[in-house]
Structure 1
Amino acid sequence: MFKYLLVTLLLIGFSSQAKVIHQERSLYRNILVEETGDLRCLKFDEKARKSSQSCIYKSNPQKLVFNYTKLTFASLLLIDNPKNVLIIGLGGGTLSNVISELYPDAMIENVEIDPAVIKVARDYFAFKENDKVTSKVQDGRIFIKRAAIQQAKYDWIILDAFNGDYIPEHLLTKEFFAEVKSVLADGGVVAANTFSSSKLYEHESATYEAVFGDFINVSTEKNSNRIILAGFNKFPSPAQLAQRIEKLTPLLAPYRVDIKAVSEGMISTKDNKDWPSDTKVLTDQYSPANLLNF
């Protein structure tokens, strides 16, 4: 679950005072659930109350709050009708809920290291589980290692883990991405929620390229989140892209996702490499945590 967006009352459009409706200290972090008018948010740090990991509108839970969640659905321009979905990092379960509604026959596995987060998602964010949508308490990397041993394959892998400061270091390395690639089905896609403003930007980009080759950056706002799309076979032709946009537009409209606008924020690194060629790749031996203070 990994949603480090600076959300202020001004940006959201609410002026009432935030109210804490739940607070607990889990094994991993401080967890808060706050309400501000119609907005309910999950937060991980008492000292940085403006940083929300997940939010919903109580009056309309379908309507997505964060830009990054909308950008994640650019994945559907590269894959069609995903059958097996893996989400690393649960947050409030928003992505899982939406994907389940869009593809009710899809098997969706949510992996979250903190059991308290899963309980909060169920109790406060209407996270839905059934025979096709499951949650597992486990470190994401361990889960993927075991999935590889079992030769599991996923059409859509969403990397959305966040520890309160940034993406956990062991989920940012070349070795980890190679493990992710090993469980990606042929024709599938990896969607990773990360940042445009981090000092790790160039290192992350170089690391994704080292494992997956050319990838796509999806972003509509400068100095904000970016979604990395990697592992796919090839970018669709203009005609294929137009067909997919036409098909997805009415499906995504209830969630306030303008897929045409999202598509315009997709930039391939094939001809738009924006990091130096000598940028050091992140590895299990080299993952400079000091750069996370951005």
Structure 2
Amino acid sequence: MSDYRTLTSVADAWGEISVLENAEQRILAFGAHDEQSKLLKATPHIPKHTYLRAMLLALLFTRPRSVMVLGLGGGVLVHALRQFDAASRITVVELRPAVIALCKQYFRLPLSKKLTVIEADALAYLGSAQHKRVDMLFCDLFDCDGIADGALSADFLQQCRQQLKADGVLVLNCWKEHSRDPELLARLQQLFPAVYACLTGSGNWVVFATAQPLMAGQAELKRQAAALSQRLGFELQLSLTRFSPWESI
């Protein structure tokens, strides 16, 4: 990141957070070299990271009116969801108050009555009380050491299922090595009849779990992905080529 300048750097109980930028983009980093989010300043709704584009393939399953996002980061996913449908209700749960403050100040978080940002531990938040169920739940819980502890546990996945409506969609951002984790697949299959996944060029393994399998064939999925790409303002076709049912190895 030698061509970037540091805008600010803060420390909290979980470590260091930095905001860097060059002429075109702005980065949120956890620790010295952990690039957590990258926002294109001219087009904040267009994800630079391929795993975020892959996560948005979830919009092939349903057009959500209510969404929950666990893990705010730089807010790029929120920007993209707002581009897709400005009327949808989005609830974001973020552990670190410093991340929320930096996202508002430096990453143009699209604040509105349709967006609620909650400062809380996502794992504890889902288990604390009955929350209004949502159509889609995105789980992107990472820290400087990787996926947050407990974010793929049986208890947490059960809480995610309870947070979703009957035909809701759970989207998990994982690492490539989780594609070889039969126990994770089994935990998901106990809760959801249909589990899909997409391997990204960045080494992320994005999982989609739902009660309603996709009935469209490959040609129809390509057509739908093209229409979705036009609406979002960026291409999803490359991610779709790596998207398929997650089956046991």
Common fold by TM > 0.5: yes
Alpha-carbon distance, 1:246 to partner: 4.3
SS at match of 2:42: coil
**Aligned residues of 1:21 and 1:35 also touching (Cα < 8 A):** yes
Which of 210, 224, 227 does residue 206 from structure 2 map onto? Answer: 227
Q: CA deviation at 1:122?
A: 0.7
1:22 aligns with 2:8: yes
Is the 1:215–1:228 contact (alpha carbons within 8 Å) kept by the matching residues of 2?
Answer: yes
For residues 224 and 136 of structure 1, the distance between their equivalents in structure 2, rounded to whole angstroms, comes to 29
Report the secondary structure of 1:97's partner residue: helix
2:100 counterpart residue number: 118
- Aligned partner of 2:120 in structure 1 is 138
Alpha carbon RMSD of aligned pairs, Å? 2.1
Shift of 1:204: 3.2
The answer to whether the 8 Å contact 2:8/2:18 transfers is yes
Is the CA contact 1:181–1:231 (under 8 Å) kept in the aligned structure 2?
no
Task: Go from structure 1 to structure 2 and tell me whether the alpha carbon gap of 1:60 and 1:246 turns closer, same or farther (over 3 Å shift).
Answer: closer
* 1:174–1:211 CA contact under 8 A, matched in 2: no
Residue 242 of structure 2 corresponds to residue 265 of structure 1: yes
Whole-Å Cα distance in 2 between the matches of residues 240 and 251 of structure 1? 17
Report the equivalent of 1:76: 59
Cα offset for 1:146? 3.6
SS in 2 for 1:33: strand
Task: Label 1:232 to 1:116 Cα distance change in 2 as closer, same or farther (>3 A).
Answer: same
Are 2:139 and 1:185 equivalent residues in the alignment? no
Gaps of at least 5 residues in structure 2 are none
Instruction: Tell me the TM-score normalized by structure 1.
Output: 0.78
Q: Which runs of 4+ in 1 moved over 6 A?
A: none
Match of 1:38 in 2: 24
How has the CA–CA distance of structure 1 residues 65 and 228 changed in structure 2, closer, same or farther, with 3 Å as cutoff? same
CA distance in 1, matches of 2:186, 2:111: 36
Instruction: For 1:90, give the aligned amino acid.
Output: L
Offset, 1:235: 1.7
The whole-number CA distance in structure 2 between the counterparts of 1:139 and 1:220 is 27
Distance in structure 1 (CA, Å) of the matches to 2:78 and 2:46: 14
Structure 1 CA distance for aligned equivalents of residues 23 and 178 of structure 2: 31
Query: Does the 8 A contact of 2:19 with 2:26 survive in 1?
Result: yes
Q: Which has the larger strand fraction?
A: 2
TM-score by length of 2: 0.91
| Structure 1 residue 236 corresponds to structure 2 residue 222 | no
Distance 1:263 1:140 in 2: 29
Percentage of pairs with the same residue: 22
1:250 corresponding residue in structure 2: 230
Confirm or deny: 8 A CA contact 1:192 1:229 kept in the other structure: yes
Q: Which residue of 2 aligns with 1:65?
A: 48
Q: Equivalent residues in 2 for 1:87-106 (5 A)?
A: 87-106=69-88
Larger radius of gyration: 1
In structure 1, runs of 5+ residues without a counterpart are 1-8, 10-15, 275-294
Query: Could you list the per-position Cα deviations for residues 19-66 of structure 1 after superposition, in whole angstroms to 9, with x for gaps in the alignment?
Result: 2111011122211111244221111112xx1x2110112233233210
Checking the alignment, whether the CA contact within 8 Å between 1:100 and 1:133 is kept in structure 2 is: no
CA shift at 1:98, angstroms?
Answer: 1.4
For 1:157, the equivalent position in structure 2 comes to: 137
